[in-house]
Every structure is written in C-alpha cells, then in structure tokens.
C-alpha cells in the first residue's frame, strides 16, 4: 500500500503578523502622502495690491505647493522688476504667458511685487540736468487679445514734467507697421481731469469689490499714482458691468490733449 502524505496549507501566526504590519504601514504611508498633499496648511500670498496684474494667481497656497504666476500684459518701452519676499526675481518670458514667476510655497506667507519703469525716459538720478522726472502719473493701455505684449496696442502715459505741466507720451504698436511714439507737453489740468475720473469711478475699490471679469477680444488697463505715491492698477480683469466704458474715460481725457500745439518737435 502506498501512502501519500500531503502537508496541509496554512498560514502561520508569524506570517499573519508580518502581513498585518506591512498592510498598516502601506495604509499609513498612503494617508501621510494624502495628508501632505491635501491637508497641508495654507499660507497667504501678498501681491501688494497688484494681484490683478497677474493671471493664474490665488490668494492662498498650501505649503509645498508649486506656485506659477503669469504677468501677461507688457506695456511699450517698459522695464519690469519682480520681487519675491523683497528679493529681485529673474522672471523669464514665455510666449503665450508673458513673464513667469515660479516657486514652491514655503511654510509662511510670501510677498510678490512688480515694479516698472519706462525705458525711454531718462532717470534724473542718472542725469541731474534731465528736463523731467521719470515719474508715471497716469497710464492708459489697451491691446488686442491673444497678443501678449500687445502686437496691436495703444498706450497713453502722463509723466511728471514741472509744477505747471505734464508730459503725455503716446505709444502705438502695430504688428505690420511697428511702433511709434509721440510726446506732448500739456497743461497740468490734464492730470486733474484724470484724477476726477479716477475719483468719480472709485477705481481704488475695483480690485476688492469685483471678481474676475476678463473679457474676450482685448484687455484694457489703467494705472495711476495715488495720494500715497502707490501705483494702483485697475483693468478689465476686475470691473463693474460698464467698467470698459469707465476706463475709456481716461482715454477720452488724454486724447483731448494730443494737439499739434502741444507736440514736442
């Protein structure tokens, strides 16, 4: 008689313990990853009143989250300086996005700021005999959508010139004919009229009062120096229903002064 012995298949207590430990470790590790991704504390980005200048910008990010901000509307003959936590950031330009700022959100609040300077205006700090200061007072800019930097754009800028008058520089950029610039020395009342438009339309409240309202077909931006010497930016990104018309009031004021008698020869 042939006797065949078959060992019974079973799981030892030690094997069960090891399996349970591995399972718990795997679940715990997954929860930690999940927690790190979705439950990390959020921190604030302070845009110093310039949030509407950036696209893809949020008020808060979780620690460890990748932050990517776009600065899309590039004005004519203007140099831009970007700062993250007070340190100058070398933002690179990307087609279709504009200047791009990237960083990983730390476990603290972060400050992001942009400063600009017209590259065609001589800085009096470099030349004490310069005829006027490179101080932007009011800037109206409009461009066709889909042309980052404004392949087709129109811009009018008031600069400080003296206590009696201001300089009005008009920039027109066309993808076919290139760019032109015309300067005018106009009465100081042009600045007063712009300030009245700003006051009457309460531009200083737009960025806080209105949500994202970007329009199709173009972008219009008004920047101005307020009474605290701070640059305020309002645009079609955040505006009331008739906001485009209100922004256009600045253009109407400035266009009145584009006369030959004021033109710089």
Lowest mean pLDDT among 33-42, 158-167, 240-249: 33-42
The whole-number pLDDT of residue 211 equals 83
* Residue 121, pLDDT above cutoff 60: no
Q: How far apart are CA 154 and CA 173, in angstroms?
A: 7
Most confident region among 136-150, 217-231, 236-250 by mean pLDDT: 236-250
The arithmetic mean of pLDDT across residues 23-42, rounded, is 59
Mean pLDDT, rounded, for 82-88:
90
- Is the pLDDT confidence value at 143 over 80? yes
Q: Which residue has the tokens 């990517």?
A: 68
pLDDT score, position 189:
94
Higher pLDDT, 145 or 7: 145
Q: How far apart are CA 107 and CA 155, in angstroms?
A: 40
Q: What percent of the chain is predicted at pLDDT more than 90?
A: 43
Decide which of 179 and 34 is more confident.
179
5-14, 97-106, 164-173: least confidently modelled range: 5-14
CA angle 207/208/214 to nearest 5° reads: 40
pLDDT of 22: 58
Confidence of residue 174 (pLDDT cuts 50, 70, 90): confident
Q: State the alpha helices, DSSP H only, in the chain.
A: 13-38, 189-200, 206-209, 243-255
Q: Give the pLDDT band (50/70/90) at residue 173.
A: confident
Q: Using the 8-state DSSP alphabet, how is residue 19 labeled? A: H
Query: What pLDDT does 144 receive?
Result: 73
Q: If you average pLDDT over residues 77-92, what whole number do you get?
A: 86
Rounded to an integer, the average pLDDT of 69-80 is 77
pLDDT reported for residue 1:
45
Residue 160: count of CB within 10 angstroms of its CB? 18
Question: Nearest 5 degrees, angle CA 139-CA 143-CA 148?
Answer: 110
What's the chain's Rg over C-alpha atoms?
29
Q: How far apart are CA 51 and CA 59, in angstroms?
A: 9
pTM over the 0.75 mark: no
What letter would DSSP give residue 144? E
Closest to 78 measured CA to CA, from 145, 133, 157, 143: 157
- pLDDT of the residue at 178: 77
């Amino acid at each position: 008689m042939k006797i065949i012995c078959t060992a019974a298949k079973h799981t030892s207590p030690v094997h069960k313990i090891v399996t349970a430990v591995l399972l718990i470790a795997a679940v715990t590790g997954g929860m930690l990853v999940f927690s790190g991704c979705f439950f990390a504390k959020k921190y604030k980005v302070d845009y110093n009143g310039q949030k509407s200048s950036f696209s893809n910008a949020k008020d808060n990010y979780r620690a460890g989250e990748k932050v990517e901000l776009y600065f899309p509307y590039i004005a004519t003959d203007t140099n831009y300086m970007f700062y993250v936590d007070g340190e100058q950031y070398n933002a690179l330009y990307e087609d279709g996005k504009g200047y791009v700022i990237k960083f990983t959100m730390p476990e603290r609040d972060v400050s992001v700021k942009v400063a600009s300077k017209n590259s065609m205006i001589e800085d009096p700090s470099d030349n004490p005999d310069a005829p006027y200061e490179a101080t932007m007072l009011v800037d109206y800019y409009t461009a066709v959508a889909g042309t980052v930097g404004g392949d087709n754009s129109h811009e009018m800028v008031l600069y400080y010139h003296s206590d009696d008058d201001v300089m009005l520089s008009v920039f027109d950029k066309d993808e076919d004919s290139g760019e032109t610039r015309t300067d005018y020395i106009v009465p100081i009342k042009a600045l007063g009229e712009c300030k009245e438009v700003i006051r009457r339309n309460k531009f200083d409240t737009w960025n806080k009062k209105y949500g994202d309202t970007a329009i199709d077909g173009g972008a219009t931006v008004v920047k101005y120096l307020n009474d605290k010497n701070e640059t305020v930016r309002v645009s079609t990104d955040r505006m009331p229903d008739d906001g485009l018309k209100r922004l256009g009031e600045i253009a109407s004021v400035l266009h009145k002064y584009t006369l030959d008698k004021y033109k710089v020869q």
